[in-house]
């Protein structure tokens, strides 16, 4: 009996050897990060399937790297699909704003590392450093003092403030206002962030150098499918949309005595800057959590469609144990997100702290499931909400907070009202910045309503 002929095998043609070079090149077929709920860390299942087929095919070639024409065609098709999927992954991680800034390996919820080209700032990353890294800050004006700058503008006395006077020339307005020089504006914005409770929870900040900024968001990644050898691979399309930040105006007025400006030493600058920051931070906290979305106010988590809202009866319910908080954590995790903080009114924390065991009367220890999830308190969560017949209700916000984005324009405008309060020897200082709030993934948040003391 004549033995069956082996399938014809040919050496890879010269023109096609680059295919093997490409598929074996780590930059092209790289190991992707394990899937998390952050967009830029998604594991693209379709790409994994293609890579597995490439490895299988290369493993069949043997040491001489010979292949049939069918194998060569299959390898070329696999490589094309791999590059196509890798391009989509890059698109998911990429972003372009009005100034053409690009992201290198980040995304919303960007982590530590180089800030050059990054479009988002995570917890602990400063606007000041971002501006320096991206060429928006003049190194010669990085040591300005906010107090000296304001004193010079109000009193006209620029002694000891030559650098501040020089910086003033970059943004004087004809209507009596002054654009704060970039280094001072960024330091004020960083002060605002430091005072925000949602910032402590880990929200993602988006520096805005233009009126609008779009960040792509992955909304679907398809599913992998089983296949027979040599069978066609079913496409698993990735779908995207965009989250658009639109700068909205936020203003705050602070009245200060003229004597303060005339007699102030440099330390007064900290007092003034912290006064602005505290007021602006409170309002940004409120709108991030409870913003109505009715123009010009941004829409906060509470009023965002797609979040989970948990009610507690027609008239609300008092906290009797940790179940409200535990159930909220479980709901977020069931949505494939990981809660990293809970935000509530101080009264709610007091109620939890007073919980006692029924037999020993000892104070209850929080369950282990909540040990790694900080509870942050802010009076921007009210305690006088009406639910049914109850008028003492509050809310608890649970979520993975880097899925909430706050866009901040990197410029701050000041206007000095020298005549309006002249009869009290006061000067009004009107601070104006522009910001927006967007939720990247509403499923990452749970709001408990009707929470009573």
pLDDT per residue over 410-449, tens digit each?
777 777 777 888 888 888 888 888 999 999 999 999 999 9
CB 401 within 8 Å of CB 203: yes
Residue pair 254/275 in contact (Cβ under 8 Å)? The answer is: yes
Which of 48-57, 83-92, 208-217, 310-319 tops mean pLDDT?
310-319
pLDDT band at 128 (very low <50, low <70, confident <90, very high): confident
pLDDT value of position 231: 85
- Residue 193 above 90 pLDDT? no
Return the pLDDT at 13.
36
Residue 118 lies in a domain: no
Same-domain check for residues 253 and 387: yes
Q: Name the percent of the chain lying above pLDDT 90.
A: 34
Q: 265 pLDDT band (50/70/90 cuts)?
A: low
- Report yes or no on 438 lying in a domain: yes
Q: What is the CATH classification number for the domain harbouring 280?
A: 3.30.2320.10
177 versus 203: which is more confidently predicted?
Answer: 203
Give the whole-angstrom CA distance, residue 258 versus residue 264.
10
φ/ψ bin of 260: left (φ > 0), alpha (ψ from -120 to 50), beta (otherwise): alpha
pLDDT at residue 175 is higher than 50: no
Among 41, 65, 93, the domain boundary falls at: 93
Within this chain, do residues 205 and 66 fall inside the same structural domain, yes or no?
no
What total of structural domains would you count in the chain? Answer: 2
Q: What percent of the chain has pLDDT over 70?
A: 73
Give domain status of residue 164, yes or no. no
Residues 205 and 352 in one domain: yes
Domain assignment present for 320: yes
- Lowest mean per-residue pLDDT among 5-14, 54-63, 90-99: 5-14
Same structural domain for residues 89 and 176?
Answer: no
Does any domain span residue 56? Answer: yes
State which residues form the domain around 26.
17-93
pLDDT of residue 140: 58
Structure tokens, 444: 């990452």
Measured CA to CA in angstroms, residue 341 lies from 114, 373, 446 at distances of 26, 5, 11
Overall average pLDDT of the 173-190 stretch? 65
Q: Which residue has the higher pLDDT, 394 or 154?
A: 394
Residue 295 and residue 175 in one domain: yes
Would 73 be classed as within a structural domain?
yes
Max distance between CA atoms of the chain, in angstroms, equals 117
pLDDT score at 441: 92
Query: What is the per-residue pLDDT for 11?
Result: 36
pLDDT average, residue stretch 178-197: 78
| Backbone Cα Rg of the chain | 29
Range in 34-48, 148-162, 220-234 with the lowest mean pLDDT: 34-48
Q: Are 217 and 335 within one domain?
A: yes
Pair 89, 187 in one domain: no
Where a domain ends, among 93, 125, 152? Answer: 93
Q: Is residue 1 part of a domain?
A: no
Same domain, 178 and 302: yes
Give the pLDDT of residue 449. 97
Q: Is the CB of residue 178 less than 8 Å from the CB of residue 152?
A: no
- 49 and 187 assigned to the same domain: no
392 pLDDT higher than 70: yes
For 375-401, what is the mean pLDDT? 96
- 2 found inside a domain: no
pLDDT band at 196 (very low <50, low <70, confident <90, very high): very high
In whole numbers, what is the pLDDT of the chain averaged over residues?
76
3-state secondary structure the chain: CCCCCCCCCEECCHHHHHHHHHHCCCCCCCCCCCCCCCHHHCCCHHHHHHHHHHHHHHHHHCCCCEECHHHHHHHHHHHHHHHHHHHHHHHHHCCEECCCCCCCCCCCCCCCCCCCCCCCECCCCCHHHHHHHCCCCCHHHCCCCHHHHHHHHHHCCCCCCHHHHHHHCCCECCCCEEECCHHHHHHHHHHHHHHCHHHHHCCEEEEECCCEEEEEEEEECCCCCCCCCCCCCCCCCCEEEEEEEECEEEEEEEEEEHHHHHHCCCCHHHHHHHHHHHHHHHHHHHHHHHCECCCCCCECCCCCCCCEEECCCCCCEECCCCHHHHHHHHHHHHCCCCCCEEEECHHHHHHHHCCECCCCCCECCCCHHHCCCCEEECCCCCCCEEECCEEEEEEEEEECHHHEEEEEECCCEEEEECCCCHHHCEEEEEEEEEEEEEECCHHHEEEEEEEEC
- pLDDT band (50, 70, 90) for residue 102: very low
pLDDT surpasses 80 at 344: yes
Reported confidence tier of residue 66, pLDDT bands at 50, 70, 90: low
Residue 302 pLDDT:
97
Q: How many residues does the chain have?
A: 453
Domain identity same for 386 and 253? yes
Confidence of residue 163 (pLDDT cuts 50, 70, 90): confident
Q: What is the pLDDT of residue 271?
A: 72
> What pLDDT, on a 0 to 100 scale, did the predictor assign at position 327?
97
Provide the 10 A C-beta neighbour count for residue 14. 7
Choose the final residue of a domain: 26, 58, 93: 93
Q: Compare 360 and 153 and report the one with higher pLDDT.
A: 360
């Amino acid at each position: 009996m004549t033995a069956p002929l082996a399938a014809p095998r040919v050496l890879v043609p010269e023109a096609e050897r680059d295919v093997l070079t490409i598929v074996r090149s780590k930059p092209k077929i790289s190991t992707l990060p394990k899937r998390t709920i952050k967009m830029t860390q998604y594991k693209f299942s379709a790409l994994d399937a293609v890579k597995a087929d490439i490895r299988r095919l290369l493993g069949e070639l043997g040491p001489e790297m010979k292949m049939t024409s069918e194998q060569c065609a299959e390898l070329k098709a696999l490589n094309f699909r791999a590059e196509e999927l890798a391009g989509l992954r890059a698109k998911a991680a990429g972003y372009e704003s009005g100034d053409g800034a690009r992201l290198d390996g980040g995304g919303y919820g960007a982590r530590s590392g180089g800030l050059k080209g990054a479009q988002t700032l995570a917890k602990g990353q400063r606007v000041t450093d971002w501006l320096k890294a991206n060429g928006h800050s003049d190194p010669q004006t990085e040591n300005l003092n906010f107090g000296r700058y304001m004193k010079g503008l109000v009193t006209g006395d620029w002694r000891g403030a030559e650098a501040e006077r020089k910086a003033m020339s970059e943004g004087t307005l004809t209507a009596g206002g002054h654009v704060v020089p970039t280094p001072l504006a960024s330091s004020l914005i960083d002060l605002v962030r430091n005072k925000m409770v949602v910032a402590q929870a880990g929200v993602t900040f988006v520096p805005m150098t233009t009126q609008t900024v779009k960040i792509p968001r992955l909304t679907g990644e398809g599913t992998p499918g089983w296949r027979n050898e040599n069978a066609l691979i079913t496409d698993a399309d990735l779908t995207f949309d965009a989250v658009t930040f639109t700068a909205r105006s936020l203003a705050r007025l602070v009245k200060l005595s003229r004597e303060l400006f005339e007699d102030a030493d440099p330390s007064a600058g900290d007092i003034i800057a912290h006064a602005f920051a505290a007021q602006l931070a409170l309002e940004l906290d409120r709108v991030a959590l409870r913003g109505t979305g009715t123009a010009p106010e941004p829409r906060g988590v509470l009023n965002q469609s797609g979040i989970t809202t948990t009610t507690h009866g027609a008239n609300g319910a008092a906290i009797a144990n940790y179940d409200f908080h535990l159930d909220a954590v479980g709901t977020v995790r069931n949505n494939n997100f990981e809660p990293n903080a809970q935000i509530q009114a101080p009264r709610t924390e007091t109620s939890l702290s007073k919980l006692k065991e029924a037999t020993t009367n000892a104070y209850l220890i929080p369950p282990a499931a909540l040990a790694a999830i900080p509870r942050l308190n802010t009076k921007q969560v009210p305690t006088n909400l009406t639910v049914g017949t109850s008028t003492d209700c509050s809310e608890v916000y649970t979520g993975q907070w880097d899925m909430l984005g706050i866009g901040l324009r990197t410029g701050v405008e000041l206007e000095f009202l020298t005549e309006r309060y002249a009869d009290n020897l006061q000067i009004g200082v009107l601070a104006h910045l522009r910001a927006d709030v967007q939720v990247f993934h509403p499923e990452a948040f749970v709001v408990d309503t009707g929470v009573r003391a």
